[in-house]
Amino acid sequence: MNKHALTLAGVAAAAAFVSASALAQPAGEGPWMVRVRATNLVTDTSSTAGLGGALPADAIDVNNKWIPEVDVSYFFTPNIAVELVLTIPQKHEVTVNALGLGKIGTFKHLPPTLLVQYHATNFGAFKPYVGAGINYTLLGSERMSVGADQVKLDNSSVGGALQIGADYRLNRNWYLNADVKKVWISTDVSLGGAKISELKVNPWLFSVGLGYRF
């Protein structure tokens, strides 16, 4: 099964799960919620050895950065929701801590994530939740090289995602939000057309923001 089929299967499974549990929303509380978050993306990189051992394991590193995030949720019940996590393409710097290379260039990634969530509703204005789902990351716009040879990445990655967070209701529509996600992203690294390493970025995403439910 290819990566695109896996992504579609994950979306279909999430939709089937929440549809089976669908109930009416409480009076006066809308099913949609949009959050805007500031997110600190902290990479948890690892890489395999390559180039006949000249490139040691975990020599490749990808930088941390703050990114904007917009998230759209739909509540099928007071407890069950799905959330689509979106951002704009993000540029990252790549460093090789071996062979005297240092920074070798940049690439961009776009990582939409779909999560199925369970929201607790018995804590008053404080509404904690957990989520799990699938991430589909597009990789490209590489501007990386070692000497005269270009460094390339696979153009996509499919992996799991986990989430824990909480909303705090300020009034009928507005919420404060704090959120932590772990996302699994991996890609093959090629030099001059030959694979030299497998890179796992696997970032943590620490977010704060505002939500509006309608």
Q: Is there a domain that residue 43 lies in?
A: yes
Q: Is there a domain that residue 30 lies in?
A: no
Q: Is there a domain that residue 50 lies in?
A: yes
Q: Is there a domain that residue 29 lies in?
A: no
Q: Two tokens at 142?
A: 């590489």
Q: Is there a domain that residue 186 lies in?
A: yes
- Enclosing domain of residue 78: 3-18+37-213
C-alpha distances (whole Å) from 134 to each of 111, 112, 193, 214 are: 10, 9, 29, 26
Give the span between the Cα atoms of 82 and 73, in whole angstroms. Answer: 5
**Residue 13: predicted pLDDT:** 47
Q: At 131, which CATH number?
A: 2.40.160.20
Q: Is there a domain that residue 23 lies in?
A: no
**Residue 24: predicted pLDDT:** 43
Give the span between the Cα atoms of 211 and 214, in whole angstroms. Answer: 10
Contact between 202 and 45 under an 8 Å Cβ cutoff? The reply is yes
**Residue 29: predicted pLDDT:** 80
Residue numbers in the chain where pLDDT is lower than 70: 1-28
Q: Is there a domain that residue 78 lies in?
A: yes
Cβ count near 99 (within 10 Å): 12
Query: Which of 14-48 are b and which e, b meaning 16 or more Cβ less than 10 Å from the residue's Cβ?
Result: beeebeeeeeeeeeeeeeebebebebebebebbbb
Residue 59 identity (one-letter amino acid):
A
Q: What is the DSSP string of 173-212?
A: SEEEEEEEEEE--EEEEEETTEEEEEEE---EEEEEEEEE
Closest C-alpha among 93, 92, 72 to residue 82: 72
Domain count, the chain: 1
Report residue 20: phi and psi, to 5°: -65, -25
